[in-house]
Structure 1
Amino acid sequence: MRQLIIKIPKGHKDKVLDTVSEFEGKNTIDLSSEKEDVFLVFLSNNKVNDFLKKLDAFEQPEISLIPRGVITLYPPANEAPEQVADVKPKSSMEIYLGGIQSVGSIFGLVGYSIAAGIIVWIGLYTTTVYLLVAAMLVAPFAGPAMNAALATASGKMPLLKSSLMRYGLAITSGIATSFILSAIFPLETLTPLMVEVSHVSRVALFLPIISGFAGAINICQSERDSLVSGAAVGILVAASLAPPVGLVGAGIYIMDWEVVFSSIFRIVLQLLGIHLAATLVFYFYGKVTPTGVRFLKGSKKVAITTSSIVILGIGAMIFWQFSKPPFLRKASMNTELTERMDNELKNLNYIRIINKNVTFTNTKINDKPTVNFQATVLPKDTLISDEALKNAIINHLKENVNYQNENIHKVYQINVVRE
């Protein structure tokens, strides 16, 4: 429930009370005076917007909306638990205005972006994973992401331009910070964590879709109806963006263009995926549409055009990703090739598998990406030499571990251990 304080010129009291009854207002208080009528009204969250639209028929109503949950209790007393449990999503007006109000200062945006850039660079440089999580806490990407989606859903081009500008500013600040740190503390080669972060999975689109969905749901739901904090959802959004943003700066410094392009691909894909998912939630669940918010006159053309561009952009990037293996699918190909190697090793009845792993490197041999097949095995036959066993295993893997696209250079590292 939401509490509203309404002040209108004298003479509309009965009509206002009838309107309150129409929208099932509870515990209404009339504080009318000689010059004006004042009402304290308690309405279900999702009815606030339409109620205020109807009030526009009266002469210049003055309205105060308290954006906090209110528990209203009314007869019969034995229905109080059901009354409290009936929690509704926020009104479309509150969702929209809340997004606008959440826009912080440019100084704060740039400051947090620089802080996140420093933290993520240190994490990548020192291969400290928890620092990447810390950077996600600080990175200010969730605000512009949700506001851009709100702008598309409502068809407001000025808000969309402002959000995209803030997006660009935040990302550019993070990239510049990473580049400067790479120059101050000369970075000559990629760390193992940088290589790992640079690899893109074929399911890379799922993370931004989920992030955008969760972020928009968190904004639409009443604070008493959310099981997840806004900070946690913000981390989920930043998880898609903070590491690759930091990696772009480091990649530019050492001129590793494969890392730069894969990170930029990931950033753009994340932005488009978050935008699409959040826009759909705001439009269909939050009812934020070009004509669905009081006093807001959005453009359906802007909403349709922007959404079409985002969908086409996602389609083009997915087509590029799957038409250029293994460049943009190394992370998932690691898993696929590991499974294939495991299956083939299990066919060799003269060894026991201790450990196995397949990893792409950023080194090219014969102008092909290099993939390293590693395995540790225990021989069942103690009479066979280590060298003969290694050669037998390698020859078997060369003959049987094939992939749909052979544009890769395979190297093998087989370790033999004995009891």
Structure 2
Amino acid sequence: MRQLILKIPKGNKEEVFKAVEEFEGKNTIFLPNDEQDVFIIFLPNRKVNNFLKRIDEFEEPEINLIPKGVITLYPPASESPDQVADVQPKSPLEIYLGGIQSVGSVKGLIGYSIAAGIIVWIGLYTTTVYLLVAAMLVAPFAGPAMNAALATAAGKMPLLKSSLMRYGLAIGIGIIASLLMTLIFPLNTLTPLMVEISHVSKVAIFLPLISGFAGAINIIQSERDSLVSGAAVGILVAASLAPPVGLIGAGIYLMDWEVVWSSVFRVVLQLLGIHFAATLVFYFFGRVTPGGVRFLKGNKILTYVTSVIVLLGIGGMMFWQFSQPPFLRKASMNTELTERLDKELNKLNDIEVINKDVDFTNTKINDRPTVNYKVTVLPKDSTVSEVALKKRIIAHLKNNLTYRDEVLHEVYEISIVTE
């Protein structure tokens, strides 16, 4: 329930009470005075927006909306548990106004972007994973992401422009901060964590879609109905953006364009996916539409055109990902090649596999992506020499370990151990 304080010209008491009853208001308090009538009204969250539209029929109403949950108890007392448990999503008006209020200052955005860029660079440089999590907490990406989706759902160009500007500012500052840190503490090569993060999975699209969905749901739900904190959802949104943003700066310094482009791909894909999923949630579940929010006259054409552009952008990114050599699918190919490696090694009966690993490197040999197969085996026949056994294993893998039509340069690292 939400509490509203309403001031309207005298003589409209009965009409207001009828409107309150129509929109399921409870425990209404009427405070008459000489110039205006004052009402303290408690309405279900979902009814606030339409109630205010009805109140617009009266001359110059003054409204105070308190965006906090209120528990209303009314007869019969036996139904009190059900009354308290009735937690509804926020009204479209509150969702939209809340988004505008969360814009905050540009100075704060710049400060947090610099901090996030430095922290993520330190995490990548020292291969410290928990620092990446800290950067996700600080990175100010969730606010612009959700506001841009709100603007698209509501058809409001000014909010969309300001959100995209803040998006670009936050990402650009993060990249510059990472680049400056690399200039101050020069890198000669990528760290193992940088290499790992630079690898993109073929299922990368699912993370931004889930992030956008979760972020929008968190905003729409009433505070007592949310099972996940806003900070946790913010981390989910930033998780897909902060590491690649920091990696772009280091990649530019090293002039490793494969790393730069894979990181740019991830950033753009995350932005488009988050925007599309959040827009759908705001539009269909939050009912934030061009004509569905009081005080707002949005542009339906903007909603449809922007959504189509974002959807086409996602399609273009996916086409780029799957039409290229493994450059944008290395993370998932690692898993698939490991499964193939395990299958082929199990066909060799004279060895016991101790360990196996597949790793893509960022080094190209003969202009082909390089994949390194690392295998540790225990021979079952001790009379066979290590050299002969290695040659046999490598020959078997070369003849049978194929991966679709991908052109890869394969490197084998076979270790023989004894009991």
Range class of TM-score, shorter chain: over 0.9
How many equivalent pairs are there?
A: 419
> Partner of 2:290: helix, strand, or coil?
coil
What is the 5 A alignment of 1:307-326? 307-326=307-326
TM-score between the two structures when normalised by the length of structure 1: 0.99
Q: Distance in 1 between matches of 2:155 and 2:21?
A: 32
Q: Find the counterpart in structure 2 of residue 141 from structure 1.
A: 141
Q: Secondary structure at the match of 2:188?
A: coil
Amino acid at match of 2:205: L
Mapped pair 1:365 → 2:368: no
Q: Cα RMSD over matched residues?
A: 0.6
* 2:289 match: secondary structure: coil
Map of 1:290-329 to 2, 5 A cutoff? 290-329=290-329
Aligned match of 1:99:
99
**Alignment partner, residue 130 of structure 1:** 130
Query: Does the residue aligned with 2:335 lie in a helix, a strand or coil?
Result: helix
Q: Which residue of 1 aligns with 2:80?
A: 80
CA distance in 2, matches of 1:179, 1:78: 64
Q: For residues 416 and 60 of structure 1, what CA distance do their matches in structure 2 show?
A: 86
Q: CA offsets per residue over residues 346-402 of structure 1, 9 Å max, x none?
A: 111111111111010000100111000011111111211211111111111000000
Runs of 4+ that moved beyond 4 A: none
Aligned equivalent of 1:271: 271
> Does the residue aligned with 2:37 lie in a helix, a strand or coil?
strand
The answer (yes or no) to whether the contact 1:325–1:405 under 8 Å persists in 2 is: no
Which SS does the other structure have where 2:361 is aligned?
strand
Which deviations, in whole Å up to 9, do the C-alpha atoms of 1:304-362 show, x marking residues without a partner? 01000000000011011001120100000010000000000011111111111101000
Q: TM-score when scaled to structure 2?
A: 0.99
Distance, in Å, in 1 between the alignment partners of 2:405 and 2:111 is: 45
For 2:34 and 2:117, locate their aligned partners in 1 and report how far apart those are by CA, in whole Å: 60
Deviation readout 1:45-97 (Å, 9 max, x if unpaired): 01100000000000111101110111110000011111111110000000000
Query: Which residue does the alignment assign to 1:377?
Result: 377
Secondary structure of 1:31's counterpart equals strand
* 8 Å CA contact retained: 1:69, 1:224: yes
Report the AA paired with residue 92 of structure 2.
Answer: S
**Other-structure match for 1:282:** 282
Alignment-mate amino acid for residue 164 of structure 2: L
| 1:205-224 correspondence to structure 2 within 5 Å | 205-224=205-224
Which amino acid in 2 is paired with 1:231? A
Contact 2:155 2:303 in 1 (8 A): yes
**For residues 7 and 407 of structure 2, what CA distance do their matches in structure 1 show?**
72
Task: Tell me which residue corresponds to 1:25.
Answer: 25
Aligned equivalents of 1:118 and 1:401: distance in 2? Answer: 42
- Percent sequence identity is 75
Structure 1 position 406, deviation (Å)? 3.1
Render the CA deviation track for 1:186-210: whole Å, top value 9, x for unaligned. 1111111101000100000000000
Query: What residue in structure 1 maps to residue 113 of structure 2?
Result: 113
- Kindly state the Cα deviation for residue 405 of structure 1 after the two structures are TM-superposed: 2.4
Unaligned runs of 5+ in 1: none
Which structure 2 residue ranges, 5 or more long, are not aligned? none
Letter in 2 for 1:75: P
